[in-house]
Amino acid sequence: MASKDLAAKTDSKGVFTEGSTLRHIIVMTLTGAVGILAVMMVDFIDLLYIKSLGTAETAAAIGFSGNVLFYLTSINIGISIAAGVLIAKAIGRSAIDEAKQISTDFYLLSSLGMAVVAVILWFYTPAILTMLGAEGRTHELATSYLRIMWWSAPIFVLGFCGMAILRSAGDAKGSMSCTLIAAIVNAVLDPFFIFDRPLVLLGIDAPIGLGMGIEGAAVASVIARIAMAVVALRAVIGKHKMIAPIDLRQTAKHLPMIGAIAVPAMLTNFATPVGDSFVTRAIASFGDAAVSAYAVIGRLIPIAFAVTFALSGAIGPIIAQNMGAKLYPRVQQILRQAIGFVVIYVGLVCLLLLALKPNILSLFSAVGDEAELIAFFLNYISFGFIFMASMFVANASFNNMGKPTWATVLNFTRALGAVPFLFAGAYVMGAKGVFLGQMLWTVCVAVVGVFLSFNLLGKIAMGDEAFSGVRRRHNFWRVPVYSFSSFKVMSVEEGEAMPVAMGDDDREL
């Protein structure tokens, strides 16, 4: 959005309440995906650099560290989801001053909270790694890496908050630029901090690098996170003027509202690293080669499926603005289109991964058990990501339809419910069974989650005063389906159409 002040653009309505919903989804998703892909590509290159140091311990240390860092990232994602929900809904109601105050509240509360979390994690890093199964030199390297990374936590969350504010304002390109700048900074600094001769591949054999190894990768990442936060803050304050002066009384007033969304959202995202910790523990029992393979897979997933990760964040503000404007049929159309997008995209990407399998194995010099485990993931497990991504969409809908605890329960059901399946798989099939058991359970949970999201939307629509003409007789098994050509609600079970009283907001999609 090119305006100097967001208020000039949103005097009457949010930018997502008009126009093609599919276009909004695609634009927000693809611009978000560029930034995510850039960051994940840097992580991917990081792993290549670390593996080039020549020991299985360094690659395994990155694998363990990635799992632990996922906890911090998940908290940040949860905070950004809550910020996006509350700010976008305020914008949808044209309450711009309230949106600005909420932005300030999130900046203040999240940075202070993450500073406390960082200190706690610094002291407990060795114990956490021991619990995950790290030992010896691998444990030592991972501890050094993480203790550097923790110092960036208060800055890192500011970047996430800033990007959430920009997405809520409809500035997809601004949000993308934050992660893109961070990726560029990280990619440029990495070789100079990791190696003592960083330009050998360019024919310059000069000792101009710091040669810090895995610790150098951590320092470069910290600097990149600072760059991301600065770019985001500059756009939020300078371009959109979406910051209000600090008002502790208003912050205290908003705290229950923020907590009601932020806490469940953080717990929802916290479930994923919890589940991955069990996977890491199960994989660790099969040796460093298996952990190294898991580290490679952990870098492949966000690159290959960057668009689906971006989609889960992109549709949040779109749903929130339309929910704030009570445009329920548009919300259902958004959910349908998002899930359809997921099925097509993930299916095509999985086929591409299969075609590139020899190149991927060669790129990481994977051999033996490591290569076999990576190939198994590419051949079979990757296709299950269709269901994982569909669950992302369902969780986004819960967070923006007033039921964030549903997303929490769904994610913890997926993460903890998978534990017996992955350990049973490990017993029957070894390391391959860990992945298979986890994915089979994910499929079951995702189907339930998608069903519940559509069911919840129908109940909200029928309970709204604007939809008072709809009969209230409704239960879990009657899923409302909107006819977009005539704005009627049909009960799937009964097959009968019921007219909807739209009040003063009648419009065609």
What digits encode the pLDDT tens for the residues 295-312?
888 878 878 888 888 787
Q: How far apart are CA 500 and CA 470, in angstroms?
A: 6
Q: Are residues 216 and 346 in the same domain?
A: no
Query: Per-residue pLDDT tens for 438-480?
Result: 999 999 999 999 999 988 888 888 775 444 333 343 333 333 3
Whether 374 is in a domain gets the answer yes
- Asked whether residue 293 is assigned to any structural domain, the reply reads no
pLDDT at 320 over 60: yes
101-113 burial, b at 16+ Cβ within 10 Å, e below that, comes to bbbbbbbebbbeb
In DSSP notation, 342-402 reads HHHHHHHHHHHHHHTHHHHHHHTT--HHHHHHHHHHHHTGGGGHHHHHHHHHHHHHHHHTT
Q: Is the domain of 244 the same as that of 323? A: no
pLDDT (tens digit per residue) in 86-118: 888 788 777 788 888 888 888 888 899 899 989
Indicate whether 21 belongs to any domain: no
What is the structure's pLDDT at 501? 32
> For residue 211, is it left (φ>0), alpha (ψ between -120 and 50) or beta?
left
Is 49 in the same domain as 156? yes
Residue 403 has phi, psi (to 5 degrees) of -130, 55
DSSP state of 239: I
Residue 147: closest CA among 72, 227, 43, 38: 72
Tell me, yes or no, whether 258 and 374 share the same domain: no
For position 14, what pLDDT does the model report?
Answer: 62
Which helix or strand (DSSP H or E) is residue 497 part of? strand 496-499
Residue pair 230/160 in contact (Cβ under 8 Å)? The answer is no
Mark whether 348 and 221 lie in a shared domain: no
3-state secondary structure of 135: coil
**184 lies in a domain?**
yes
Record the pTM.
0.66
pLDDT of residue 55: 67
Residue from 326, 314, 159, 341 nearest 232 by CA: 159
Is 430 part of a structural domain of the chain? Answer: yes
Question: Is residue 110 in some structural domain?
Answer: yes
Token pair for 212: 């810090």
Residue 257, H or E segment: helix 248-284
Helix ranges restricted to H, 133-171: 136-149, 153-168
Question: Do 257 and 355 fall within a single domain?
Answer: no
Q: Is residue 311 located within the same domain as residue 211?
A: no
